[in-house]
Amino acid sequence: MQNNSLAQQKPWYLQPWVWLLIALPATAVVGSMASLYLAVTTSDGLVVDDYYTRGKAINRDLARDRAAQTHRLEARFDIDMTRNLVTLSLKSQDYAPPREMKLSILHPTRPHHDQQVMLEQVGEGQYTAGIGELGRGKWYVQLEADDWRLSGRMQMPLTEPVVLSPRYTDVITGPS
């Protein structure tokens, strides 16, 4: 009788519980291999190698923001993605506009999507330049010339022109 029960028993590879026990560690191995592949082949765009140098440059950037505030600068620009063209208007009360300025359009997390274009003057306070394709989403914008800088952000696609004005303000905290 005992011989008969052994003959009716299935081999181990036909048992469902055996495959369940094999599948759990196998899934962990496949998942860890996929994670290792992603870690090796992609870069973390948020990590900066020269953080100390960039930290020291913050005071210099704040001085450039103060200079934009002193000149009472305001820039308004629009991006025509059908013609890949940026048009910008710069207003100031006491500042003679430069012949060209640098416009940086920066993606928050993917630096390989960043673009920098040189805007050339086409009229009094009017500038234009060609631009590459911009994807949908949030972008940071910096306009720079000489000793000043204007910063802001925009959401693509644009529904209205972007206005950049000085961000720096002296804030005094504590008892006076």
Strands 148-156 and 137-145: antiparallel
pLDDT, averaged across the chain: 80
pLDDT tens readout for residues 123-145: 888 888 888 888 888 888 888 88
pLDDT tens readout for residues 79-90: 888 888 888 888
Choose the weakest-confidence range: 64-68, 159-163, 164-168: 164-168
Give me the residues paired with residue 139 across strands: 154
The answer to whether 134 touches 48, Cβ cutoff 8 Å, is no
Sheet architecture: strand order including 115-123: 148-156, 137-145, 100-106, 115-123, 126-130, 85-91, 74-80, 162-164
Q: Of 172 and 53, which is predicted with more confidence?
A: 53
- Tell me the whole-structure pTM to 2 decimals: 0.61
